[in-house]
Structure 1
Amino acid sequence: MKQAGIDRRRAASTRVRTAPRRQLTPLGAVFRGAAAGVIGTLAMDLVMYRRYRRDQGTEAFGEWEFSADVRGWDNAPAPAQVGRRVVDGLFERELPDSAARQTNNIMHWGYSVSAAVGYGLLAASLRRPCVGYGLLFGAGMWAFSYVILPPMHLYKPITEYDAKTLGKDLTAHLAYGLGTAAALWALLPHRGRR
């Protein structure tokens, strides 16, 4: 009996010690989430740009990405319209047509990156973050847009879109979610990668 206790202690003292688990601070999770959001947004936009080019679009990626064709509020997409309403509502200030392009870019990137910050905080707190969770994140972002934008009269109700349109939008958001999750996973301090 006594010998068994000595053997256990001896075995415990000779075990290979692993490095202590590195803790990620909330601020570290915020910065990593933001960086991952940039990657995820680019992934989504590359999917959408490829479709644009396949449909005979002619703008170079930089022009397309930064809304070179947006000249005013009449042809401004949903992100710009949301930004316009925020400024109108909060600051009681009407934005000129010349602000539509910049508003679109700020809202598109700001919304995507800030959502990824929230995802980063959540994923960094998990014991085992998984890239596959990005699919849930992307699908959630897609569904959320069909919840908040129809009441704002910026989207039609989801039931009024055909399956092809919804599928294209969903797959772009899945690319965003996976791109964000993969980038975040790569940026997290891992405990003994396997």
Structure 2
Amino acid sequence: MEGLFQRELDPRWARTANNASHWATGVLAGAQYGLVAGSVARPRIGYGVPLGAGLWGTGYAVLPAAGLYRPITSYDRATLAKDLGAHLLYGLTTAAAFAALGPARCRARKAG
């Protein structure tokens, strides 16, 4: 399978490339979520569900088109469910962190 740069990735670099892309995507998605959550009066943990599901769906739409992943139809339901669960956990954890930090930040602004 050829990737984004139309060059075969050496198998010994596959795990490193996968981890780097997941970390970069996670950090950027978390930052974008933070911008949105910061503009909401009271961020809620439940907002993490669409965040995680959106990242999961986007990954299966964009990565195969870039040649970096197989199409979603090539995975069995158990694999997709496990992957969705991991993305939902990320979304909920991110939302929980912002929800926990949000009220303290608001109180600090009012006090200052």
What TM-score do the two structures reach when normalised by structure 1? 0.45
1:127 aligns with 2:41: yes
Q: Is the 8 A contact 2:48 2:95 kept in 1?
A: yes
1:171 is aligned to 2:85: yes
Query: Is residue 75 of structure 2 the alignment partner of residue 138 of structure 1?
Result: no
Structure 1 residue aligned with 2:66:
152
- Could you list the structure 1 runs, at least 4 aligned residues long, displaced by more than 6 angstroms after superposition: none
Q: Deviations over 1:153-174 (max 9, x none)?
A: 2222112211101000000000
Distance in 1 (CA, whole Å) between partners of 2:22 and 2:69 is 16
Work out the CA distance in 2 between the residues paired with 1:167 and 1:128.
30
1:38 is aligned to: none
The alpha carbon displacement at 1:139 in A equals: 0.5
TM-aligned CA deviation for residue 185 of structure 1 = 1.1
Percent identity of equivalent pairs: 52
Alpha-carbon distance between aligned partners in 2 of 1:138 and 1:176, rounded to the nearest angstrom:
6
Root-mean-square deviation (Å): 1.9
Which entry has the higher C-alpha Rg, 1 or 2? Answer: 1
Q: CA 1:74/1:160 → structure 2, altered by over 3 Å: closer, same or farther?
A: same
In 2, the alpha carbon distance for the partners of 1:116 and 1:73 equals 30
Question: What's the TM-score once normalised by structure 2's chain length?
Answer: 0.75
Show structure 2 runs of 5+ residues with no match. 1-8, 108-112
1:12-55: CA deviation from partner (whole Å, max 9, x where unpaired): xxxxxxxxxxxxxxxxxxxxxxxxxxxxxxxxxxxxxxxxxxxx
The answer as to 2:97 corresponding to 1:183 is: yes
CA distance in 2, matches of 1:148, 1:164: 21
What one-letter code is carried by the residue in structure 2 that aligns with 1:144? T
Letter in 1 for 2:28: S
1:118 to 2:55 alignment: no
Q: CA deviation at 1:129?
A: 1.3
Corresponding residue for residue 109 of structure 1: 23
Which consecutive residues of structure 1, in runs of 5 or more, have no partner in the other structure?
1-71, 81-103
> Partners in 2 of 1:171 and 1:190 — Cα distance?
31
Q: What displacement does 1:146 show?
A: 0.3
Q: How many corresponding residue pairs?
A: 96
In terms of fraction of residues, the more helix-rich structure is: 2
